[in-house]
Structure 1
Amino acid sequence: MMKLNRFSPLMTVCAAWPALVLAVAAPASTTDILRSADEARGNVEGIAWNVTVESTENERVSDTMVYDIKARGFNVAGISQAPAKYKGNKLLMLNTSMWFYKQGLSKPVPISQRQKLMGDASYGDIASTNYADGYAATELPDERVGEEECHVYDLKAKSEKSTYDRIRYWVSKERLVGVRAEYYTVSGKKFKSATMEYDNHIQLAGQRRAFLSRIVMRGELMNGAVTYLSLREPRLAPLPDSVFDLNLLMR
């Protein structure tokens, strides 16, 4: 009897071991995967970057715009740097609401994230993404994009204020970043697609993380038009509340 008692703790641990292994090896949830992908596109507590938007047609640049962006979570402030005629124009997004301001206006004007900025890029495209919380996700069969195995999700917007009604989204299993997207209307019609690159890096929670460097957008119209969003110099920094204060946007 004593012999049995001597080994019973070991037997208890052994019996529990499969459960412990399963707990450690449990796969990340869809929400966690999408949240990691969001972090690589601006959803962090205090970050700034420059974004250049180029609209091209038949491989020739037809228009260019440059913004300086500051983000804290899903609050985003942007100020236009170029061209000269747009310099000083401001954007402010607080969660899902967005405003525009330029000299001469008596107050900031509410705008939609879906409103076209340039080419196939919308105002919401230069801001942080919140696919983890802003969309209802349905997991689809895995697919490969280039050499990478990817999770695939069908994302449906929870709010009419979201930039897109529905997105089919490919997230790299290895890097946990979004690498491809297709955008659809409520009726299910695809109207543009995008590929994403992550040549930038930031230090997040003590780890070196890939950060978005370029989005290439192609509309479904067969006119050879492509829109490039190039993100440069991402830098982590504390941002005061005043940066995201609508009452201070006119200053």
Structure 2
Amino acid sequence: MKTLLIALALAAPLAQAADVATMLKNADAFRGSGQQQIDTLIEVSNPDGSPDKERRYTVLTAPERRSLVLMTSPAEKGQKVLMLGDDFWLLMPGSQRPMRITPTQRLLGDASTGDIATQSWSEDYEGALIGEERCEALACWHLQLKAKRRGVTYQRIELWLGKARHEPLHAELYVQSEKLAKKARFIMDKTQVTEMVLQDALSNRKLTHVRYQSRKPRQVPQSWFNPMFLARSPVLE
């Protein structure tokens, strides 16, 4: 009997870890995964709710943590951001030199390159279950995520998922200094996240709305994920 109790005690953390891994994979599915094109609109609103600025982006994703962000608004048209694992490059029209940037480089408002170019919580983070809580009218799970590498956008994420389906509800995003950088709220339809609302944790003034206007499967050429090819090819067809 004693041996059985010890075995059950040892198995409990493993079962919990497996459950957390499943939760994160389910949450990622609501945010979109695989090879696809995501047409994204970022809008910044003033404290009174009036619109401030907006920009449009086409995000192309591929396996092995690869993403290409094409900026399509007139003010930024032709600019690109390439993500290969933990490496980020900004490519400007007319320049033959890709510029190294960080995933925290701001695009507009509180939205950074990492906010729209990276997607996988299940691949980039180790998760631990903190416990069950109430998220307004819903029962939810509170998870703590710690980054597997230093190159990811946020080193720690406090994440709340719906208890039944594991859909993302809201998150607190921490940078390497353990400073709370932003708060995120996720807006869903029945099957996927349609919007992420970001708020600076200190100013609590303007809101940044990252709206996912459409998603569709798309396989892009491997050459598009080469920074030197992109520097030589200002127009992608």
The one of 58, 71, 89 equivalent to 2:79 is 89
The one of 39, 42, 57 equivalent to 1:53 is 42
In the TM superposition, residue 187 of structure 1 has moved relative to its aligned partner by 4.6
Q: AA paired with 1:81?
A: T
Calculate percent identity across the aligned residue pairs.
Answer: 28
The one of 172, 192, 196 equivalent to 2:162 is 172
Aligned partners of 1:57 and 1:223 also within 8 Å = no
Q: AA paired with 2:216?
A: R
Moved over 6 A (4+): none
Q: Deviations over 1:96-117 (max 9, x none)?
A: 2111101122221111111122
Give the TM-score of the pair, scaled to structure 2: 0.82
Q: AA paired with 1:90?
A: K
In the TM superposition, residue 240 of structure 1 has moved relative to its aligned partner by 3.1
Distance 1:230 1:249, change over 3 A: same
Instruction: Select between 162-171 and 145-154 the one with higher mean Cα deviation.
Output: 145-154
Distance 1:109 1:119, change over 3 A: same
Tell me, yes or no, if structure 1 residue 214 matches structure 2 residue 203: no
In the TM superposition, residue 35 of structure 1 has moved relative to its aligned partner by 1.9
For this pair of structures, how many residues does the alignment match? 215
> Counterpart of 2:12?
none
> Counterpart of 2:218?
237
Aligned partners of 2:154 and 2:176 also within 8 Å = no
Q: Deviations over 1:28-79 (max 9, x none)?
A: 52112212212322321x1111111112222222221110111123211111
* Distance in structure 2 (CA, Å) of the matches to 1:149 and 1:172: 6
* Distance in structure 2 (CA, Å) of the matches to 1:88 and 1:211: 29
> Counterpart of 1:80?
71
Give the TM-score of the pair, scaled to structure 1: 0.78
Tell me, yes or no, if structure 1 residue 248 matches structure 2 residue 229: yes
* Distance in structure 1 (CA, Å) of the matches to 2:122 and 2:103: 17
Aligned partners of 2:40 and 2:214 also within 8 Å = no
The one of 29, 36, 41 equivalent to 1:39 is 29
Distance 1:177 1:248, change over 3 A: farther
Give RMSD over aligned pairs.
Answer: 2.0
- 5+ residue gaps in structure 1? 1-25, 202-209
Distance 1:172 1:223, change over 3 A: closer
- 5+ residue gaps in structure 2? 1-14
The one of 89, 93, 96 equivalent to 1:106 is 96
